[in-house]
Amino acid sequence: MRTLRIFGFLILLWSLLSACRPQAESEHAGHSPVSTASADHSGHTTASPQASPTAKATAKVAGRSGVMINPEKQQLIGLQTVRVTPRVLSRAIRTVGRVEYDERALAHVHTKVEGWIEKLYADFTGQWVSKGQPLLEIYSPELLTAQKEFLLALQTQRQLRNIAKASELALGAEDNASLVAAARQKLLLWDLQPTQITALERTGIVRKTVTLYAPASGYIIEKKALTGMQVMPGMELYTLANLTSVWVHAQVYEYELPKVKAGQLASMRLAYLPGVSFSGRVSYIYPTLDPETRTATVRIVFANPENRLKPEMHTEVTIETGTGRQELAIPADAVIDSGTRKLVFITRGDGYFEPREIVTGGRVGDYYPVMKGLKPNERVVSSANFLVDSESQLKAAAGNMGGHGH
Sequence spans of domains, the chain: 22-88+326-405, 93-102+243-320, 112-234
For the chain, the farthest-separated pair of C-alpha atoms sits apart, in whole angstroms, at 134
pLDDT tens for 236-288 read 999 999 999 999 999 999 989 988 999 999 999 998 889 899 999 999 999 99
Q: What is the rounded (10 degree) CA torsion for 383, 387, 390, 396?
A: -80
Decide if 105 contacts 218 (C-beta within 8 A).
yes
pLDDT tens for 333-384 read 999 998 889 999 999 988 999 999 999 988 887 889 999 999 999 999 999 8
pLDDT tens for 181-208 read 888 888 888 888 888 899 988 998 898 9
What is the spatial distance between Cα 68 and Cα 40, in angstroms, rounded to a whole number?
A: 9
pLDDT band, very low/low/confident/very high, at 30 (cuts 50, 70, 90): very low
Q: What is the pTM of this model?
A: 0.63
Q: Buried b / exposed e across 163-173, counting CB within 10 Å, b at 16+?
A: eeeeeeeeeeb
Task: Tell me which of 2.40.420.20, 3.40.50.150, 3.40.50.720, 3.40.50.970 is the CATH number of domain 22-88+326-405.
Answer: 2.40.420.20
What is the spatial distance between Cα 42 and Cα 46, in angstroms, rounded to a whole number?
A: 10
Say whether 93-102+243-320 and 22-88+326-405 share the same fold. no
Task: Tell me which of 2.160.10.10, 2.40.30.170, 3.40.47.10, 2.40.50.140 is the CATH number of domain 93-102+243-320.
Answer: 2.40.30.170
Question: How crowded is residue 60: how many other Cβ atoms within 10 Å of its Cβ?
Answer: 13
pLDDT band, very low/low/confident/very high, at 323 (cuts 50, 70, 90): low
Cα 203 to Cα 159, 183, 192, 402, distances in angstroms:
17, 17, 16, 115
Q: What percent of the chain stands above pLDDT 70?
A: 80
pLDDT at 50 over 50: no
**Lowest-confidence segment of 69-83, 152-166, 186-200 by average pLDDT:** 152-166
- Give the bridge partners for 354, in sequence order: 346
Q: Mean pLDDT of all residues in the chain?
A: 82
pLDDT band, very low/low/confident/very high, at 134 (cuts 50, 70, 90): very high
- DSSP assignments along 268-282, one per residue: EEETTEEEEEEEEEE
Name the residue with higher pLDDT: 359 or 32: 359
Q: What is the mean pLDDT of residues 152-180?
A: 69
> How many Å from the N-terminal Cα to the C-terminal Cα in the chain?
37
Q: What is the mean pLDDT of residues 19-29?
A: 41
Coil vs helix vs strand at 327:
strand
Q: What is the pLDDT of residue 242?
A: 95
Q: HEC profile for 53-108? A: HHHHHHHHCCCCCCEECCHHHHHHHCCEEEECEEEECCCEEEEEEEEEECHHHEEE
Name the residue with higher pLDDT: 260 or 60: 260
Instruction: Sort 20 into a burial class: Cβ within 10 Å, 0-12 / 13-18 / 19+.
Output: buried
